[in-house]
Structure 1
Amino acid sequence: MDNTAAWAGLLRVHAALVPLLDQELQAAHGLPLTWYDVLLELNAAPGKRLTMTDLGAAAVVSRSRVSRVVDELVRAGLVEREPNPADKRSAFAKLTADGRARLKAAAPTYLAGIERHFTGRMTAAEAATVATALGKVLRAHDAAGLHTIR
């Protein structure tokens, strides 16, 4: 196998599965995958909030889109913006109770989609190998001081 086969496979799987997961979440919950991603990161954060900079670094959605996605979530009542007392130029995005409820309701659809379209197509050992290999790449990227997505 040449050195680009793994990379090409990763890109193709991403291109094929992200739209499927997005369609399933929207059909079942009216929740785009980008919204789910941001809600998931906020839910995992201390105090259920992150600065926009930290959210941009953590979320899979691009840094340039995170502000627009947060604006959409604010309009939907799923996130609120809070002033950052430590830095008047920045703000926190904070998960609301409605946002947490929507995330919780959508989680089974999201997890079932991952199982149906991704991990269910491989053995447990293969899934562990993929997770280990991709984690290794992300850790090396992070150690080099480059932007990473958790």
Structure 2
Amino acid sequence: MERVSEKELTAWRLFIKAHAKIMEFIERDLAAQKKVPLTTYDVLIALFEAPDRRLRFSELNRKVVLSKSGLTRMIDRLEREGLIQREKSEEDRRGAYAVLTDEGENQLRKAWPVYARGIKQYFAASLSDEEVEILTRSFGLIYKDLQSSQEKEGNES
């Protein structure tokens, strides 16, 4: 079994705890202001940032932290709430897109100030500019390695 150093384990545990606490606090703030929950926000922002405000379900699933079945339930709910709509793919009859509606964009814009304040208050306020740069580089390296591994796995299957 691979040995994890005490420093690595401590860093990992603090990362997990800090992430969970930040998400808990931001989620609480969004709920207190009657804004969309974080999981909904993540789906809406992924669509907002996509070309034509639309993504294939499979691509949306790669961009959000939800299981395939969790995303399906989320899409059903967001469609009922009028925040997104489904669109059949013209190129691929089995494929479908999730499309951000005007109301979805409106809810996203209403939630952003609360979310931004949470990022600033619960994350950035504890760090110097230099520490933010170090974290950005560090998480960038980790993410790049994970993306690379995922691409290799995709090529092997």
Same topology, TM > 0.5: yes
The aligned residue for residue 31 of structure 2 is: 26
Q: Which residue number in structure 2 is paired with residue 10 of structure 1?
A: 15
AA aligned to 1:65 is G
Structure 2 residue runs without a partner (length 5+): 1-5
Q: In 1, distance between residues paired with 2:68 and 2:129?
A: 33
Secondary structure at the aligned position of 2:92 is classed as coil
- For the residue of structure 1 that corresponds to 2:91, the secondary structure is coil
Q: How many residues align?
A: 147
State the 1:62 CA deviation.
Answer: 3.5
Q: Once superposed, which parts of structure 1, at least 4 consecutive aligned residues long, lie more than 2 Å away?
A: 60-64
Tell me: CA distance 1:138–1:86, structure 2 relative to 1, closer, same or farther (3 Å): same
After TM superposition, the structure 1 stretch with the greater mean CA deviation from structure 2, 21-30 or 85-94, is 21-30
Corresponding residue for residue 101 of structure 1: 106
Question: How far apart, CA to CA, are the structure 1 residues paired with 2:113 and 2:66?
Answer: 21
Question: Which residue in 2 is equivalent to 1:67?
Answer: 72
Pairwise CA distance, 1:90:
2.0
- How far residue 66 of structure 1 moved from its aligned partner, in angstroms, is 1.4
TM-score, scaled relative to structure 1: 0.91
User: Who is 1:110 aligned against?
Assistant: 115
Unaligned runs of 5+ residues in structure 1 are: none
Task: Quickly say closer, same or farther: Cα 1:118–1:43, change in 2 above 3 A.
Answer: same
1:36 correspondence with 2:41: yes
1:137 aligns with 2:122: no
Structure with the greater alpha carbon radius of gyration = 2
Q: In structure 2, what is the Cα distance between the partners aligned to 1:112 and 1:30? A: 13
